[in-house]
Structure 1
Amino acid sequence: MNTLADQSTFRPRGLARLLALGLLAGSLAGCSTVSSWFGGDGKPRLKDLGPNPGLMAVQQVWTARLGTEVLPATDVHVQGDTVLIAARDGSVTALDARTGAQLSRFAAGEPLTAGVGGDAERQAVLTRSNQLMVYAEGRQLWKQQLPAAAYTPPLVAGGRVFVLAADRSLTAFDAANGRKLWTAQRPGEPLVLRQPGVLLAVGNTLVAGLSGRMVGVDPDSGSVRWEASLASPRGTNDVERLVDLVGRVSREGDNVCARAFQASVGCVDTRNASVRWTQPSKGAEGIDGDGEALFGAESNGTVQAWRRADGARLWSVEQLQHRRLTAPLLLGRSVVFGDDYGVVHLLSKTDGQALARLKTDDSGVASAPVSAANTLVVVSRSGTVYGFRPD
């Protein structure tokens, strides 16, 4: 079994970064149009968005500054009307989503590798030295050394803290005292994604993404209840064979839909572990949706919608190509994406028509937007947090 020390990790974000890292293995071999995607300065050619359509009246209602940069692709944790944001320096700040006021702040004392996870009582973070630290009211309750790095926010649920590590191990700890309850280990892979994976509770089952499979685990023992494959390794080298499920996911009852990195989008019925459908999709960020449809962006920035029932393609929009989009947020009648240029795009969930555009700052949007207290919350890489609200 490979150890983490033998593994290479990388954090893909959009086509330009994939090209820079040489990770489009084989996919560009027969493509003669790549050069037309870029200008003479090597930057991607962006489509002209035109004037702000202004079909939705949305206003910026508050701004908060964390005072430090945030981790790229770090999930923002929503707990009621509060959002918790992990910064690059190891600090975690809780903001009131209604006003942007700081409610609390604590620091782990070293850089973090993932966003914060938590429930109404406790918050859990993962550090660069592979430590799991758990806090309550800004005070550290306990910490545990992990055998490998972790890039998925811990899940705090049912009096336990669950950690999905980069070596494909899944571990449960007692949330009160940090006692290890169990560990489930899968065979390692030469390459792993340095970005959030899939880890959530569905009823009394812990659901995790392990390689290209969605796995249902008994939270009391760590035993596997079921597995459902959304993608399988292909190709002849480690890069081509890399497959993993990425967050965010869309859950409607027992139906959980997710993206397999650069391979497919699909839905699983967790009651019977049946794969409802999969569709090929070359994307690196997660998806969102409702009972009718799912939404996501391809690595080249094409926004795609699928019918949730059977995966049929509903519409696609190419206007945002090469803007390196975040995972989406479905919010009312709009699908919301942030981009690498600090712009927030609100598209109609019905047909992908542009409804409105919002501006943050030039550092770029760091992570998928979230919604709390009737407020759209967007975090920039510079550590500025923006609250937007419909008129």
Structure 2
Amino acid sequence: MLVQRLAFLLMLSAGLVACSSLNPFADPPKTKPAELVDFPSSLNVKPLWQINLGDTPAGALTAFGTATAMRAYVASGSNIRVVDLSNGNVLLTAPAPERLTSGVGTDGEVFSAATRGGEIVTWGADGNIKWRSALNAEVLASPAIADGIIAALTTDGRLIGFDQATGKRRWVLQRPAPALTLRAASPVVAVRNGFIVGFPGGRILAVSARDGQARWEAVLASGRGANEVERIADIAASVGILNETICLSSYQGKVGCLAVRDGRLQWDKEFSSPVGVSAAGGSLYGTDEKSIVHALSGSGGASLWKQDKLLYRTVTAPVALGSSVVVGDYKGMVHFLSAANGNFLARLATDGSAISGPPLALESGARRLVFVQTAAGGLFAFEIQ
């Protein structure tokens, strides 16, 4: 919701926003959404289990896996729930001091999230709070953990690094925030002893975990237009990693890939997306502002296909799994598309509320699993047979 790879194929989601903010998904679509088309189902997808975790922030689903177990960490009201993804059992409930506003960051040992009162809280594996520290600002993006540092991105444009063990503030990096930004996700991704972070205004930084210094800085898109709304160009939360490049998209801006090592732009093209992209098998998959799903060549951005039959259905960022690409929409429908041509393969319903972040896709051995979170607090598991 937020994307990263672990021991097996795993897609993650990340978190959200800035100063005076605009949320394009806060209300029902203003343009009439497309009616769903009928098609012959050609992919067998089986519902596995479902649970309800109550009110959750958008993009609050984070996963962590080992060779023997896969767990989801879900921010829910004023609790963190740890869920066994093999059966939906809640393994742990960790109370927070107050309502949570962000998703969860974890390294499998500790996990962190931000509260409505502007604190970052870190729990141990036993669910007890290890430390809490003031941020003095709202945080909606899931924290990220690298090299003993937990990094949190505030809505006023600060990336703050905390010592993972003690909670001591180690450094602060700040970039000016535009007057108006989307109330939508900006990525904080842990890579190579540091973080790649999307700041409001289309700015991307690689930041050292050790000292908070920017290793490189790039601009994927800059705001253009006659007013503040037209000049919004924020980086979307879901990103894709292809070999040694990181691929991102922006609202009213571009999609492109940059070298992780030095930030050098590999390619870019015009593309507007408030939700972001994912990557698999040398291809990039993204959903644009009209809810058209696209497949692009990861090496140069050439269009491979697009699926426009979900127009204005507030479609999530896509996630690839095997030969299919999975998205959710505002009515809680989960759509499976062909990775080869974008045709519909299967469709399943959840609880009727919006899918609130990108699906989580997992390959473990021969099993291909998909998990989605809904705005009503549902967590649903499916398996491609």
- Alignment TM-score, normalising by the size of structure 1: 0.87
Deviates more, 1:335-344 or 1:193-202: 193-202
Paired with 1:157 and 1:46, the residues of 2 have a C-alpha distance of: 42
Does 2:113 correspond to 1:118? no
Of the candidates 261, 265, 270, which is equivalent to residue 280 of structure 1?
270
Give SS of 1:171's match. Answer: strand
Residue identity matched to 1:100: G
- Relative to its length, the structure with more helix (as a share) is 1
One-letter amino acid of the structure 2 residue matched with residue 10 of structure 1? L
Superimposed CA distance per residue, residues 283-334 of structure 1 (whole angstroms, 9 cap, x where no aligned partner)? 2111111242111111211111111100111111111112111111111111
Aligned pairs (5 A) from 1:157-172:
157-172=146-161
- 3-state SS in 2 of match to 1:181: strand
Identify the residue that residue 342 of structure 1 maps to in structure 2. Answer: 332
Matched residue, 1:61: 48
What secondary structure, in the 3-state scheme, does the structure 1 residue paired with 2:100 have? Answer: coil
Instruction: Give the secondary-structure state (helix, strand or coil) at the position aligned to 2:230.
Output: helix
- Judge conservation of contact 1:202–1:254 (CA < 8 Å) in 2: no
How far did residue 375 of structure 1 move? 2.2
The CA deviation at 1:45 is 4.3
Match among 75, 79, 82 for residue 64 of structure 2: 79
Paired position in structure 2 for 1:50: 38
Partner residue in 2 for 1:302 = 292
Paired position in structure 2 for 1:94: 82
Distance in 1 separating the partners of 2:299 and 2:50 = 39
Alignment of 1:1-391 (within 5 A): 7-13=19-25, 17=29, 44-51=32-39, 53-66=40-53, 68-71=54-57, 73-80=58-65, 81-87=70-76, 89-136=77-124, 137-210=126-199, 211-372=201-362, 374-391=368-385
CA distance in structure 2 between the aligned counterparts of 1:172 and 1:250, rounded to whole angstroms: 24
Preserved contact between residue 167 and residue 189 of structure 1 (Cα < 8 Å): no
Deviation, structure 1 residue 365: 1.3
Work out whether residues 90 and 107 of structure 1, in 8 Å CA contact, stay in contact via their aligned partners in 2: yes
CA shift, 1:148, in A, is 1.6
CA distance in 1, matches of 2:165, 2:360: 28
Percent of aligned positions that are identical: 32
Q: What count of residue pairs does the alignment treat as equivalent?
A: 358
Change (3 A) 1:205 1:116: closer
For 2:276 and 2:345, locate their aligned partners in 1 and report how far apart those are by CA, in whole Å: 22
Q: Deviations over 1:8-43 (max 9, x none)?
A: 1232239955x5xxxxxxxxxxxxxxxxxx5xxxxx
> Which aligned segments of 4 or more residues in structure 1 are displaced greater than 6 angstroms?
none
Q: Alpha-carbon deviations, 1:207-228, whole Å to 9, x = none?
A: 1112312211121111111112
Deviation at 1:282, TM superposition (A): 2.1
2:64 partner letter: Q
Q: In structure 2, do the counterparts of structure 1 residues 382 and 63 end up closer, same or farther at CA, with 3 Å as the change threshold?
A: same
In 2 relative to 1, CA 48–377 (structure 1 residues): closer, same or farther, beyond 3 Å? closer
**Alpha-carbon deviation of 1:119?**
0.9
Contact 2:251–2:289 (Cα < 8 Å) also in 1: no
Distance in 2 between the 1:84 and 1:273 partners? 31
- Other structure's SS at 1:236 match: coil
How far the C-alpha of 1:255 sits from its partner, in A, is: 0.4
Cα offset for 1:48?
3.6
Q: For residues 118-164 of structure 1, give each alpha carbon's deviation from its aligned partner in whole angstroms, at most 9, with x where no partner exists.
A: 11111101111111000112101111110321111000222210011
After superposition, give the CA deviation of every residue in 1:149-189 in whole Å (9 maximum; x if it has no partner): 11110002222100111111111100111001000111232
Query: 2:147–2:193: 8 Å Cα contact kept in structure 1?
Result: no
Report how far residue 202 of structure 1 moved: 2.3
Q: Which moved more, 1:190-199 or 1:162-171?
A: 190-199
Mapped partners of 1:76, 1:110: distance in 2: 19
Secondary structure of the structure 1 residue equivalent to 2:229 = helix
Bigger drift between 233-242 and 92-101 goes to 233-242
Superposed displacement of residue 113, structure 1? 1.6
Q: Is the 8 A contact 1:15 1:299 kept in 2?
A: no
* Preserved contact between residue 184 and residue 274 of structure 2 (Cα < 8 Å): no
Contact kept in structure 2, 1:153 and 1:196, CA below 8 Å: no
Does the 8 A contact of 1:207 with 1:214 survive in 2?
yes
Give distance in 1, aligned partners of 2:262 and 2:91.
Answer: 42
Closer/same/farther in 2, CA of residues 157 and 319 from structure 1, 3 Å limit: same
Are the equivalent residues in 2 in contact too, given 1:268–1:274 (CA < 8 A)? yes
Asked if structure 2 preserves the Cα contact closer than 8 Å seen for 1:216 and 1:227, the reply is yes
2:81/2:94 contact within 8 Å kept:
yes
**Secondary structure, aligned partner of 1:248:** coil
Paired residues of 2:146 and 2:195 also in contact (CA < 8 A): no
Aligned pair in 2 of structure 1 residues 354, 14: CA closer, same or farther (>3 Å)?
A: farther
Question: Per-residue CA shift, 1:89-109, capped at 9, x if unaligned?
Answer: 222111111111111111213
Q: 1:205 to 1:161 in 2, by over 3 A?
A: closer
